[in-house]
A and B are shown apart, each in its own frame.
Chain A
Amino acid sequence: AQSVTQLGSHVSVSEGALVLLRCNYSSSVPPYLFWYVQYPNQGLQLLLKYTSAATLVKGINGFEAEFKKSETSFHLTKPSAHMSDAAEYFCAVSGGGNKLVFGAGTILRVKS
């Protein structure tokens, strides 16, 4: 079975500061991992995905994530936060077939 834990339901950073959103996973098989972003009143949009090709994955809008098997983690980072990054972020692990198992989400607030 697969599961995801996102540490911190709310994260607040200042504009220009480092963004770090934490995700730990559990998987009985080699994991495929995803980060999605949800802007207000919109659907989910894929930021990036890990599919075992490289442990450091670069995504859209300057985000990246590093897969660490020893820590069962897939944390999302961005060097410098922008106001437009304010959104809810979801980490997900692939379950059986095409099913996605999501974490509870982290709401990112960016202060000016």
Chain B
Amino acid sequence: EAQVTQNPRYLITVTGKKLTVTCSQNMNHEYMSWYRQDPGLGLRQIYYSMNVEVTDKGDVPEGYKVSRKEKRNFPLILESPSPNQTSLYFCASSFNRGRNTEAFFGQGTRLTVV
């Protein structure tokens, strides 16, 4: 089954404790991205990757890191989480075919930073 898999689905952590949210897709997509969803703001792009070893900042990259060492995986790293990073996070992937391409989303990771 074609899918985007995120882990964990739920995470509660303390301020400053490094964490990683994993994302993996099995569709051989070139393009992957991370979004955060906040009430009243919709989804905002954090980082994206157009292919292996090619990553770039989205609209809200502060406090996050990513890496793309393999085509299928695109982990999101919070080196020193803060309470304002409490949010619902989604990983998405798509073929790198331009603006009319559909994105496939993972199930989401609900992160709480206390």
Residues of A participating in the B interface, judged by any CB pair closer than 8 Å: 4, 6, 9, 32, 34, 36, 41-46, 49, 51, 90, 92, 94-100, 102-105
- Complex Cα gap A51–B102 (Å): 11
A32-B100, A34-B102, A49-B100 known; A43+B43 contact, CB < 8 A: no
Number of A-B contacts (CB under 8 A): 70
Number of interface residues of B (CB under 8 A): 28
- Complex Cα gap A104–B33 (Å): 19
Residues of B participating in the A interface, judged by any CB pair closer than 8 Å: 4, 31, 33, 35, 40-45, 48, 50, 58, 90, 92, 94, 96-103, 105-108
Q: Which residues in B have their C-beta under 8 angstroms from that of A36?
A: 105
Q: Taking CB as reference atom, which chain A residue is nearest B45? A: A99
A98 touches B42 (CB 8 A): no
A99 touches B58 (CB 8 A): yes
- Complex Cα gap A41–B105 (Å): 13
A98 touches B44 (CB 8 A): no
B58 touches A43 (CB 8 A): no
Q: Which residues in B have their C-beta under 8 angstroms from that of A4?
A: 42
Q: Which residues in A have their C-beta under 8 angstroms from that of B106?
A: 43
